[in-house]
Structure 1
């Protein structure tokens, strides 16, 4: 595709979106198609309009919610200051125009602007007198537009009068460079490339007052920069720096500010805004000198302390580490900690976001997207060391490569040849191993290309006799047969997939750069196969990511989510996206996606209750799933820790089950005994999937749970659950007990025998060991089980709340177990009998399990759990692989 045609398509799309923005009602598909044809005639374009129409439909339908914030009401802050004084809009207007030029619909631009204005209101008015500081946190979603948001906040802050702006863009050069480039387009308006210092982006507007910057795409703030004699007040425009979160960089910046700008140790006349992107990074679990968390943290606090008027705003999609900052910590030298004491703002993702819920929680879409890696351990074991030899790549990785080539071909057939298309391979933190992986992939890529070149133009054979053509056909039939094109069409277009295909190793030791902009200027789409470690795991945007292959064994919540580069926006190719992960990682991602959904919902509930950031911080620290984050650093030294936990609004289940037949039989006898007695004389009410006993005395439920035998690894959690039930007994003296049973599973009510529910047990060896079975996705109950036993009125009320819930990401706005849990409003004990399938060793087994669902509202109730490294690893898996310790990679 020529440069002019690619640019022409973008011009048509932007013009089409702008024309649709004037409509009062959302346009139909027919209306968009009609306007697209009209625009094509104006631009004298006779090419395929399908992609233009698809992207326009997505643009006009994309909406962003207002989000929700928790604020410290005692801080005497008036967030309406943004509306009470007249604020210029040059920078924010230019930025919004830039977004529209980039294809954003005006509705989306307007909603982003409204959110940025709300966040600005949480900052201090830069014109206000006296000394002040503000601390806040904005929680976004991985790859969902946090950069677009903080750029909007920066533009509005500059309009309002913030004079000095620092953006800390993670700990790696490639992310800092990427952020610098984006801000040059959207705010600075001038390229910092010494070979091309021209006005760009917003800078093309007549009369635009370019902000000053002391960093470039090639250079961070350095000692050399600090030795210059510039002062902040030498500039009449805002100054912005884009820096790495690096001790030396921060130290150089601090010295320059102190020595050339401070009077009597303070800078009193310059309002300063510090944007800390990836705010949780370099804060925990690293011992590298340049990103030492204690020194990094103290240097940021020292810089903030230099300014009498300062605001610090952290941005992250994984807020766990930030919440563990002690809000009361204070040091005479560096002053207040970075805990977001003044506000926490949770952003809503746009409705077109391809996020964790779609990939891991929604069973229908997850089944299409996620693929299991079951062979990598034999080739690149998760415990491999720096310098180890890679004998060969796992077959699953070669299958993923085949998928990528076919997917790129289909995207080309859909008219997306000028769009970027990427594959991500993340199997090692070591540069030496990454290079070996690159060599194998390069060799295979070349063999496939030669096979395609020799065969793609030939007549379609009955059987693909060439090995590599046969593999590509298998990939098509296995994954993409419903893509809208026949194999004959895909086959004939395969060679085009290799146009502009580049194989890149992305880490701190390589010169390979993911320079998508270079290809955009040429009007072509880069087809990138990217191999790397931490650089691919945090912050860096991989454009057009279609196929992801990741085999890493970390269980750290924040690290896992940040590795999810596959989240984002996938216009007109979402159906082609595939994510390859180990079974263990699939389960952990599912678990984390549900946990973070619950965390965001908790912010909304706490907002309604007018609770503060510090109260939310306490809630997160007491969240059962936060134990891993709290204790991980100490666990590496084997230190035992005592952690307070709350099970407020949680469902906790015995997802690691004992496999002893004797234990299973004893638990079935226990179930029958209490069932016979009606759990203390309560009637058994049928639910259609078993029976419910309502209003069971807490003591009866505790006796039942006490007698229920569990796997030794789950015993401490069982004790904590029983202790918590006992603690909330005054507020909840009775519970409901739900016996879940399937008639088709051998149910026999007369014999007090539950019908089994089948669960897949065809898993890797590490999931069935030590006499225990770790259930898939760490889940015992099926979705919707918590509605069993509710009245029709309660069920309908839960469904209504789900439909009105802006946090509900299910495609049909269906009610979740959390919605049903809120309607029950009392503890629920659920009892199951499971039958393992797809495992000959466990065939025919009946294995009882249980779960306890706790009501919400018991914010201050906690129990203490004593944990050591062994217990943590039983509950959460190995703590050995933390990508923040990638000494050889980064």
Structure 2
């Protein structure tokens, strides 16, 4: 019965999307509601119309950009072969039809298809003669639909003639199973469950030419599963696909099977075009060994499998590409052959406009102030640095409050008609299996107490129910977080009991036999309410459906680890306003920094594409990126090893974001500002809405100011980098601009800047670390730009699908800026108990550098060691993620 109702609801949503497809203006909700009332009886749907209308609205207003690619122009490749050949798109058309059946908007499906064709064009035409191999990388966004993209590429590749397709789906069993299920639906067309081999997804079409598969949802590849399948690689009638885990034993078994049963002649398979998709390609696939020793085992096995085929293409997919770009493009091993560097192409995907990503969570001040909550009490209960046998006496109050948020948010979602949809909470506070089980015990006790309190009070008058501590806590969360959700407390309270009907608590790790199987609940017509507790198993690739509240207290600053832990990114149709993310202040700062760096990286790909640059040149740029060592060498440098590298600050900003508390230092810095201001830095001063602007100041003057400005010891490397880079580019830029930022012009006669208020609640006696590692406000960098430059920045933003409302960001301003910009601030700390900070004025500065300085002549040489790393990024001494992970 539930299946029939769900299909009818899907049919109504599809009909609504089709009815409004192609209109120039987005229809109003009232128009969609009116059409839904007309169509529902015709389609036999008698359920709640609200959810169907809501989903149709989101689908109708969803769009996606085409992305951009870098290609190796020195090697001839005809990327138009896809359009020149007469290909029958059987698998591709079936997949696109399946997506439309899953309520994807037709124009979005078409855009996905167009992007898939472009990526396919970067592969080799499988009908090409001779031997060939290509290497590429597709950069997506965390939880943004990379799987949907590569499934589209797989379908098109199968149509074009690729006969053997391998998908390497991460390092964990649960991710491999999840990927197998998705490929079963979108490409294979049959459930690979040996107990239930029914037609599903694309296979519901009677004429569908089912591909062969050598793996299933229960079994990874092995010689036995291959034998049981009855298929061999030379059965050319259909494409063969495998979904395997990124595990050395599995890869060795596949390599041995291919070599024994299918290799001919010289040991290479000469007549079978092969495509290998490496999901989470930055994890475990990278050769982390030094160049003078053999590659790591996983890396070597992937390369050996590719080397067995005379015709092969490797495409890595990742949202965190930093490690992939550091691969030596020229590395070669006699046994493993070519490295996995994406020498032929790098394709950067755009996320749809409905994507709930890092920009909304961390960079947009309006949304981040609602979504983000800082964890300040966990260290007293379960500190960052803990052992697997440490006793857990109690959980922090902030975690229980987050759990209350989840319960209230679920009740609101039920009121919105989402009771049949999944809703989840993620708790990630330890990598140890034993600690995760202890957390589960406390959460279970709390859940039982809240459930009993709700059962006894949800129908009681408020004066009675409010006496219960758990009911009072739920109301307090509603009042502080969700009072504007269009429902009153009495409605939400009455809905609370329904939350517990399908609330389940899971521990997800390599030792647990619990499976977060959303499909199982869907088959039963149940919208699961899940509280998932885990470590790395929750952090890589696994989709947590309906994730609404996240609580993560982990100590890592490694880019890829942090971004992959961000399970809260994704799509939140109809409940984005209810989502909450709880992190330590340090993690909030680092996520914000990474979000900005990632945005900057994508922007550079676009610029380099316009300049006709290659993946290898992009690799050289990333290798000189200021944050390179955070990604590649943090663990090595804990042993004191020095690393010498070139650093390039093109299109970036260097700011003083950790501030000293010493009154004498701050007084002297303020006197320095007055001295240079009084002299006008040797130029004429212009008044602006933001303070005072001084154009065309000599770089020598700017360098003199920065040299004399005293900074916190942890900012010395930032100051030195800014000075060194000003010198490195001084031949090209002999002048820069200066912006004295002030909102209180009335004290200009004293040459004293008006203060900007900033929260200092996280400040300690060691110093004041600014929130999100940012000093300047967004938009400060536009000052000094001409009207034509501002128009150019606006045009850059319009062409950037990730730009909010097509408004330029500081990255776009740097693209058009033609000289460095020194910004000078005085901050007034708020929300602090430190006597050293109360009522004080704290000067600071930042230097913004223009874009486009990619060459080695614009780089500075850095010798980095563990002291440098600690100054630049903070201590890694207690970083548990730098060690082996116990839960995997």
The answer, yes or no, to whether TM exceeds 0.5 is yes
Offset at 1:99? 0.6
Give the match for residue 850 of structure 1. 845
Query: 1:695 aligned to 2:701?
Result: no
| Matching residue of 2:740 | 739
Correspondence for 1:313:
315
For residue 371 of structure 1, report the CA deviation from its aligned partner.
1.0
Residue range with higher mean Cα deviation, 637-646 or 557-566: 637-646
Structure 1 residue 805, shift from structure 2 partner: 2.7
Q: 2:870 aligns with which of 873, 876, 880?
A: 873
Q: Is the 8 A contact 2:424 2:530 kept in 1?
A: yes
- Is structure 2 residue 806 aligned with structure 1 residue 813? yes
CA shift in 2, pair 1:23/1:809, >3 Å:
closer
Distance 2:880 2:393 in 1: 24
Out of 642, 649, 652, the residue aligned to residue 651 of structure 2 is 649
Cα–Cα, structure 1 residues 360 and 844, in superposed 2: closer, same or farther, change >3 Å? same
Alpha-carbon offset, residue 481 of structure 1: 0.7
Offset at residue 794 of structure 1 (A): 3.9
Give 1:461 shift: 2.9
Instruction: Determine helix, strand or coil for the equivalent of 2:241.
Output: strand
Aligned to 1:384: 386
Partner of 2:825: 832
Aligned to 1:760: 759
Corresponding residue of 1:95: 95
What is the rounded CA distance, in whole Å, between the counterparts of 1:626 and 1:359 in structure 2? 24
Q: Which residue of 1 aligns with 2:775?
A: 780
Taking the aligned partners of 2:872 and 2:384, their CA distance within structure 1 comes to 19
Report the TM-score, using the length of structure 1 for normalisation.
0.96
1:419 to 2:418 alignment:
no
Native 8 Å contact 2:133 2:312 kept in 1 = yes
Pick aligned residue for 1:507 from 506, 509, 520: 509
Residue in 1 that maps onto 2:885: 887
Question: How far, CA to CA, are the matches of 2:751 and 2:30 in structure 1?
Answer: 60
Task: Assess, with a 3 A threshold, how the Cα gap between structure 1 residues 248 and 227 changes in structure 2: closer, same or farther.
Answer: farther
Distance 1:194 1:808, change over 3 A: closer
Q: 1:97 to 1:293 in 2, by over 3 A?
A: farther
1:756/1:433 CA distance change after superposition, 3 Å: same
C-alpha contact (below 8 Å) 1:430/1:886 kept by paired residues: no
Aligned counterpart, 2:32: 32
Over residues 270-326 of structure 1, what are the superposed CA-to-partner deviations in whole Å (9 max), with x where a residue is unaligned? 000000000000146999xxxx97111111011111101000000000000101101
Q: 1:590-609 counterparts in 2 under 5 A?
A: 590-609=592-611
CA–CA distance in structure 1, aligned partners of residues 83 and 795 of structure 2: 35
Q: Which moved more, 1:344-353 or 1:39-48?
A: 39-48
Q: What is the aligned-residue RMSD (CA, Å)?
A: 1.9
Contact 2:555–2:881 (CA<8 Å) still a contact in 1?
no
| 1:179 alignment partner in structure 2 | 179
**Are the equivalent residues in 2 in contact too, given 1:643–1:865 (CA < 8 A)?**
yes
- Name the structure 1 match of 2:546: 544
Q: Partners in 2 of 1:189 and 1:878 — Cα distance?
A: 51
- Looking at structure 1, the residues matched to 827 and 472 of structure 2 have their Cα atoms a distance apart, in angstroms, of 41
**Counterpart in the other structure of 2:479:** 477
Question: How far off its partner does 1:884 sit?
Answer: 7.4
Q: Distance in 2 between matches of 1:444 and 1:350?
A: 38
Q: Which sits farther off after the overlay, 165-174 or 879-888?
A: 879-888
Deviations 1:676-713 (A, max 9, x none): 2221x211111222212211112222122111111222
Cα distance, 1:518 vs structure 2: 0.9
- Deviation sequence 1:521-548 (CA, Å, 0-9, x none): 1112011110000011010000011111
Contact 1:188 / 1:203 at 8 angstroms: preserved in 2? Answer: yes
Matching residue of 2:166: 166
Conserved 8 A contact 1:285-1:633: no
Moved more, 640-649 or 310-319: 640-649
Deviation, structure 1 residue 816: 1.4
Asked if the contact 2:422–2:545 (Cα under 8 Å) also holds between the matched residues in 1, the reply is yes
Instruction: Calculate the TM-score normalised by the size of structure 2.
Output: 0.96
- In 2, the alpha carbon distance for the partners of 1:3 and 1:127 equals 43
Structure 1 alignment gaps of length 5 or more: none
The equivalent of 1:790 in structure 2 is 785
Contact 2:648–2:859 at 8 Å: present in 1 too?
yes
CA distance in 2, matches of 1:227, 1:197: 18
In terms of mean alpha carbon deviation, does 475-484 or 815-824 score higher?
815-824
Asked if the contact 1:354/1:569 (under 8 Å) is kept, the reply is yes
Deviation at 1:621, TM superposition (A): 1.2
C-alpha change, 1:700 and 1:595, in structure 2 (3 Å) is: same
The residue aligned with 2:358 is 356
2: CA distance between counterparts of 1:496 and 1:588?
A: 38
Aligned to 1:683: 684
Contact kept, 8 Å, 2:656 with 2:845, in 1: the verdict is yes
Structure 1 CA distance for aligned equivalents of residues 27 and 841 of structure 2? 55
Kindly state the Cα deviation for residue 223 of structure 1 after the two structures are TM-superposed: 4.6
Cα shift readout 1:152-189 (whole Å, capped 9, x = no counterpart): 00000000000000000000000000000000011011
